Structure 1
């Protein structure tokens, strides 16, 4: 008998974990902005792909706010959620939450929104299902 593993997140969400190592940081020991953006885009890609069950590409990143620095040695949870859909596009809110591994203290450090486009097998924009209420 085969039992499917339980779902760990709704189809509108993706969560990724990273540790900030020295090669991820600038000269003052904080996460490079470009690395933060790459992690955010990756999470947006996964959330949108899960939702649409299609290949997706990034169309735009909007209003990325770097609120607090993320330091070397911290755990970073990247949380992406599909929050709105158009005919072929999905808006994905992404947050970076830093956690001190020893104390467990967590803080929202960075937020942004990404627009992803679903593609068909030929690489043309493809329709996505409407977002369920709730």
Structure 2
């Protein structure tokens, strides 16, 4: 079977939407949950375009809300596949808002969605590889690969069955906590 690889730009997706009063939270800014919903949609579109399959969200990593979004601003989201594993992809999303009266553009959010490619039976299926054409694409791929490695090592370190809290007691002194463990019965 021939290995298929795609250029990053072949799967990129951009959407824009005008922010309406119905999208606001109690402080009058655009609700973060609404933005997350749009981000999930564009991650799905980008991953599905890359894999040519239905994709599901496996995790969302590092959602950084940097600037608030106001009613009447045009929000643009750009998504691209930054990393591919065997059946999963990490889709990077950049969110900017534009004041359509002044032309001022703000970077509002960046995030990384891990998407998994599925077949009609719901089984995970392999995804095409990536062809990296630029320094930026190489940087994004390696950064995502490292994020995957860190996630696995964190999972191993904090495995419930193997976790030993005594190793972390000194570290807890640096935090705003009081350790008041009761003896096990």
Alignment TM-score, normalising by the size of structure 2: 0.66
- Residues 9 and 80 in structure 2, CA contact (< 8 A), matched pair in contact too: no
Tell me the secondary structure at the aligned position of residue 38 of structure 2: helix
| 1:1-134 mapped onto 2 (5 Å cutoff) | 10-134=9-133
Name the CA distance, whole Å, in 2 between partners of 1:19 and 1:99. Answer: 9
Aligned length: 126
More strand by share: 1
Q: RMSD across aligned C-alpha pairs, in angstroms?
A: 1.2
What is the CA-CA distance between 1:10 and the residue it aligns to? 2.8
Instruction: Provide the C-alpha distance between the structure 1 equivalents of 2:116 and 2:82, rounded to a whole number of angstroms.
Output: 14
Q: Which runs of 5+ in 2 are unaligned?
A: 1-7, 134-185
Farther-moved stretch of structure 1 (42-51 vs 10-19): 10-19
Name the CA distance, whole Å, in 2 between partners of 1:83 and 1:10: 10
State the structure with bigger RCO (CA 8 A, min sep 6), 1 or 2.
1
Cα distance in 2 for partners of 1:133, 1:19 equals: 33
CA distance in 1, matches of 2:25, 2:115: 29
Computing the radius of gyration from Cα coordinates, the structure with the larger value is 2
